[in-house]
Structure 1
Amino acid sequence: MIAIVGPTASGKSDLSLAVAEHLGEAEIINADAMQLYRGMDIGTAKLRPEERCGIPHHQLDVLEVTQEASVASYQKYARQDAKEIQARGRRPIFVGGSGLYLRAALDQIDFPGTDPAVRAALEQEAEDLGAAALYERLSQQDPKAAQTIEANNLRRVIRALEVITITGQPFSANLPDYTYHEPCWQIGLRPDPQLVAPFIDKRTRGMFADGLLEETEALLKVGLAEAKTASRATGYPQAMAVIAGRLSVEEAIEEVNLATLQLAKRQIKWFKRDPRITWLDPLPEGKRLSPEELLRRLLDTQDGKALL
């Protein structure tokens, strides 16, 4: 298998198409948690069907915005897609920046079950005591897990505490060493966040110009505002604020740019911990390399010569 990983706005989708076309017999599996959602197209930079070069894509548009994305569910269905692709004699290429989803698909990792009663109790505590209190508890019970989970990511904090309660073990114990469940080559795009900033700004402005507000209005009609996961996708809270009159478009663009840069830094930090990734810089000296140029660089690597 192949996985193309890295931060947002680094050119993963374009490179995945170039690699798939070079291989000739390949299909792509999405590994961006927010691209799982139907109707969230512009704000997630999802490739339109006509942009996919005739290459089959999987794990796109599989959830309604009112559904909650699950890493365990993604693991099940993404691995199933990979097996079916291989059974057709083709190569699966995972593409995305959602680190935990990628590890779930690629690595030897099992997820404990859930307990609705425990989850409900933790959610009620979060309402009564606040997110900070639950994060403090996690820091005391599992400092290692707390270092990898942001304090304001209440969903992941609750999940970690739920696992600790159910299993009696630290949540971090369920994230094993980096061991693939079957052979995989990971290719990472790692631009300097400061160098990628102009491209993020260009992309954000393009999203608003292409109809992000109209897309968000349509999603609000089917429950986006109440959605636990989908409503937090970068770009949509800002678009909702414009629609509600709390932000101007220019203010929203600035907020989206900042949030995207912060997301990119978190993603780079996550992927840097994985020693198996072959890294490429898509922005040497601030100039974005074309997918074809990146592919040529891959073909010059030892793994590229063997696997491509």
Structure 2
Amino acid sequence: MTGADLPVLAVVGATGTGKTALGVELALRLGGEVVNADSMQFYRGMDLGTAKATAEERRGVPHHLLDVLDVTEEASVADFQAAARTCFAQIRSRGRVPVLVGGSGLYVRAALDVLELPGTDPAVRARIEDELAERGPGVLRERLRLVDPESAARVQDDRRLVRALEVWELTGRPFTAFMPRREHVEPTVQIGLDVDRSALHDRLARRVGAMVEAGLEGEVRVLAARGLREGRTASRALGYGQFLDVLDGRATVEQAVEATVVATRRFARRQRTWFRADPRVHWLDPAEPGLVDRAVRIVEAAAAEG
């Protein structure tokens, strides 16, 4: 069975579970190319803190949508959706299989599922953000409640509050009307990696420690000179905000490490909740023997079923 005969493959799950390595192995075994779906790996220079695969770790497998943004640019789900689907088509044209790899839940859904994404208008967004700064979130939340009560009940942070009001102004439709459906746009198999919670916590602590040993503080220092602090998306990446505090004298390295470990564990918990809610994901434990073989069998069985 060749790559051209196989469905799109997605490797998903929480950070630190081994998605990158499995994606490369499956691409090698099945004749595939990797498409990145980790929103922080879009950024040039954000390598250590995002555990971006090195050239050696990629093992000759083409990787797409890595290093496509400067840290001052804002990541866009809509832009990613278009770029990922273009990558899928181009990979298919070469007779190969797209292997989507990443743990950014909405980005994965945007690439794989039926999902209409409303456009943006920088002027409208800036006006709403200015009002948020001047009047606080209470006034904006009440406005959203009047026009879109379902979104008002679900939106938890100011960024999504602004986005929900922007969507309403631009489309006249509630933000929730654009939520993804669990319907793949083309045949797809999702492989999820999950490990025991305590084991994952240990893995994440070791991972953060290794990043720091490899020079995370220096990487943040270089990126700060390139405008990391001004980056609306990049500055929120795990480890980067914490080490900006070190550079600015607000935290010690030890405090930044601990804060990064805590934030990473929380993020992993949210990722696990997101992906566990999708019944289409085939879950595997990366600690069990024969991981790649088991994943290949799942993909080939799905292809045989059509």
Task: Give the TM-score taking structure 1 as reference length.
Answer: 0.90
Q: Secondary structure at the match of 1:205?
A: helix
Query: Alignment partner for residue 41 of structure 2, among 35, 45, 61?
Result: 35
Conserved? CA contact 1:193–1:264, under 8 Å: no
1:220 aligned partner: 224
Q: In the TM superposition, what is the alpha-carbon distance from 1:155 to its structure 2 partner?
A: 2.6
Distance 1:121 1:278, change over 3 A: same
Q: Secondary structure at the match of 2:166?
A: helix
Alignment of 1:19-30 (within 5 A): 19-23=26-30, 25-30=31-36
1:91-115 per-residue CA deviation (whole Å, 9 max, x = no partner) reads 0000001111111111111211223
CA–CA distance in structure 1, aligned partners of residues 297 and 110 of structure 2: 29
CA contact (8 A) 2:11 2:190 kept: yes
**Cα distance, 1:109–1:252 mapped onto 2, change above 3 Å:** same
Q: Distance in 2 between matches of 1:45 and 1:267?
A: 16
1:100 corresponds to: 106
2:197 alignment counterpart = 193
For residues 211 and 147 of structure 1, the distance between their equivalents in structure 2, rounded to whole angstroms, comes to: 42
Task: Report the 3-state secondary structure (helix = DSSP H, G, I; strand = E; otherwise coil) of the residue aligned with 1:118.
Answer: helix
Q: Which residue of 2 aligns with 1:294?
A: 291
User: Is 1:160 paired with 2:164?
Assistant: yes
Is the aligned partner of 1:16 residue 2:23?
yes
Once the two structures are TM-superposed, the CA of residue 305 in structure 1 deviates from its matched residue by 3.7
Shift of 1:140: 5.9
Given that residues 189 and 302 in structure 2 are in contact (C-alpha distance below 8 angstroms), is that contact kept between their aligned partners in structure 1?
A: no
Deviation at 1:192, TM superposition (A): 3.9
Q: Indicate how the Cα distance of structure 1 residues 203 and 115 shifts in structure 2: closer, same or farther if over 3 A, else same.
A: same
Amino acid corresponding to residue 227 of structure 1 in structure 2: G
Identify the match of residue 118 of structure 2 among 109, 112, 119.
Answer: 112
Residue of structure 1 aligned with 2:133, choices 120, 127, 137: 127
Q: 1:70 aligns with which of 76, 97, 108?
A: 76
Q: Which amino acid aligns with 1:261?
A: R
CA 1:189–1:14: 2 relative to 1, 3 Å:
same
Contact 1:5 1:96 in 2 (8 A): yes
1:276 aligns with 2:280: yes
- Cα distance 1:141–1:106, how it changes in 2: closer, same or farther (>3 A)? same
Q: 2:268 & 2:225 partners in 1: Cα distance? A: 30
**Inter-partner Cα distance in structure 1 for 2:78 and 2:26:** 28
Aligned residue in 1 for 2:244: 240
Which of 242, 247, 258 matches 1:254?
Answer: 258
Q: In the alignment, is residue 231 of structure 1 matched against residue 235 of structure 2?
A: yes
Residues 139 and 263 from structure 1, CA distance in 2 versus in 1: closer, same or farther, beyond 3 angstroms? farther
Q: How high is the sequence identity, in percent, across the aligned residues?
A: 48
Structure 2 residue 61 is the aligned partner of structure 1 residue 55: yes
Residue 46 of structure 1 deviates from its aligned partner by 0.4
Q: State the SS of the aligned residue for 1:60.
A: coil
Residues 256, 173 of structure 1: alpha-carbon distance in 2 compared, 3 angstrom cutoff: same
Matching residue of 1:204 = 208
In 2, Cα distance between equivalents of 1:133 and 1:70: 26
Task: Compute the displacement of 1:248 (Å).
Answer: 1.6
Q: CA deviation at 1:118?
A: 2.1
* Cα separation, partners in 2 of 1:300 and 1:185, compared to 1, 3 Å: closer
Residue 47 of structure 2: SS of its match in structure 1? Answer: coil
2: distance between equivalents of 1:41 and 1:132?
A: 38
Match of 1:51, SS state, is: helix
User: Aligned with 2:270: secondary structure?
Assistant: helix
Q: In structure 2, what is the Cα distance between the partners aligned to 1:21 and 1:108?
A: 28
Question: C-alpha separation between the residues in 2 aligned to 1:62 and 1:71?
Answer: 14
Q: Which stretch shifts more, 128-137 or 50-59? A: 128-137
Cα separation, 2, equivalents of 1:142 and 1:258? 34
How many residues were matched structurally? 297
Residue of structure 1 in register with 2:11 after alignment: 4
Structure 2 Cα separation of the partners of residues 75 and 65 of structure 1: 20
Once the 2 structures are TM-superposed, how far is the Cα of residue 271 of structure 1 from its aligned partner? 1.4
CA contact (8 A) 1:193 1:261 kept: no
